[in-house]
Amino acid sequence: MADLRISEAKEAPVTPETLMRLMASRRDVRGNRFSDRPIDDAILRQILEAANAAPSVGFSQPWQFVIVKDAAKREAVYREFVHENEKAKKIFRTHALYPSLKLEGIRESYANIAVLYQKSSNAVLGQTTRKKTGEYSVVCAIQNLWLMARAYNIGIGWVSILRNKKVKKILGIGEEYKLVAYLTIGYVNEFAEEPELLTLGWETKKSLDEVVRWV
Ligand SMILES: Cc1cc2nc3c(=O)[nH]c(=O)nc-3n(C[C@H](O)[C@H](O)[C@H](O)COP(=O)(O)O)c2cc1C
């Protein structure tokens, strides 16, 4: 077997406090908070490197990132959002708050990032029983990206009120890909201290006891 390159586990690379601070200060950023400041390509690449360092089933790295700067394409995605959000408004018609929620920053952000799952035609180690593990891997990459962006003081918004087929058509993406996430990225003037949906009273924060079971 090939020699594994290893480093001693004497010292952790960052302190738990630093990592927790980063995680706790990560926010989903909507359109009203993005600033006009452009992002250097070198920084954008570092953020994408973080995504590309994520764990993946069978080390398949089944992700692709499409950086969308084109205004016309973004406008088309925005129109798709508006269409789908009209349907969502009907679903939440008894919630007076819903229509006032700002749920995307497609046009206001510096760029959009379509995050794709690339289906494999070959068997993937570890994915033989649980087919969705490829898509789960892509979500791990998204979380890495989101956290690294925060480390650069850059905000990310996740826009999911979009149909897979429509977005793929707008961006000219082939059949072998599935849209996992449509993100917006940009510098922000401020980061909210807690989730907006918590502040607005849409949801409450679950305690650890509510989400952990010991069996
Ligand atoms: C899978 C996923 C989909 C989401 N889709 C949307 C969305 O369509 N619009 C939106 O405004 N926020 C969206 N969000 C952001 C969540 O609302 C947000 O993460 C949550 O309210 C907690 O806030 P925080 O991320 O600032 O901690 C999404 C988040 C995830 C993980």
- Note the pLDDT tens digit of each residue in 17-67: 999 999 999 999 987 789 999 999 999 999 999 999 999 999 999 999 999
User: Which of 21, 23, 25, 28, when mutated, tests ligand 1's pocket best, judged by the most ligand atoms within 8 Å of its CB?
Assistant: 28
- The pLDDT value recorded for residue 8 is 83
Q: Strand, coil or helix: what is 65? A: strand
The one-letter code for the residue type at 215 is: V
CA of residue 160 to ligand 1 center, whole Å: 8
Does residue 200 form part of some domain? no
Distance from Cα 103 to the centre of ligand 1, integer Å: 8
- Contact 76 CB / ligand 1 (< 6 Å): no
- Whether 160 lines ligand 1, by a CB cut-off of 6 Å, is yes
Residue 68 in domain: yes
Residue-level pLDDT at 4: 85
Predicted local distance difference test score (pLDDT) of residue 2: 81
Entry pTM: 0.96
Query: What's the confidence (pLDDT) of residue 91?
Result: 97
How many domains are there within the chain? 1
Asked whether the CA dihedral 14, 17, 20, 25 is positive or negative, the reply is negative
In a domain, 8, yes or no: no
Domain assignment present for residue 28? The answer is no
Task: Using the atom order of ligand 1, give the atom closest to the CA of residue 202.
Answer: 21
The domain that holds 172 is classified in CATH as 3.40.109.10
187 in a structural domain: no
In a domain, 213, yes or no: no
- Mapping DSSP to helix (H, G, I), strand (E, B) and coil, where does residue 30 land? coil
Domain that includes residue 163, residue range? 35-178
> Which residue numbers in the chain have pLDDT < 70?
1
Q: Is residue 195 part of a domain?
A: no
Query: Of all protein residues, whose CA lies closest to atom 13 belonging to ligand 1?
Result: 158
Of 87, 156, 160, the residue with max ligand 1 atoms within 8 A of its CB, to mutate for a pocket test, comes to 160
143 lines ligand 1 (CB under 6 A): no
CA dist 59 and 57 (Å) reads 5
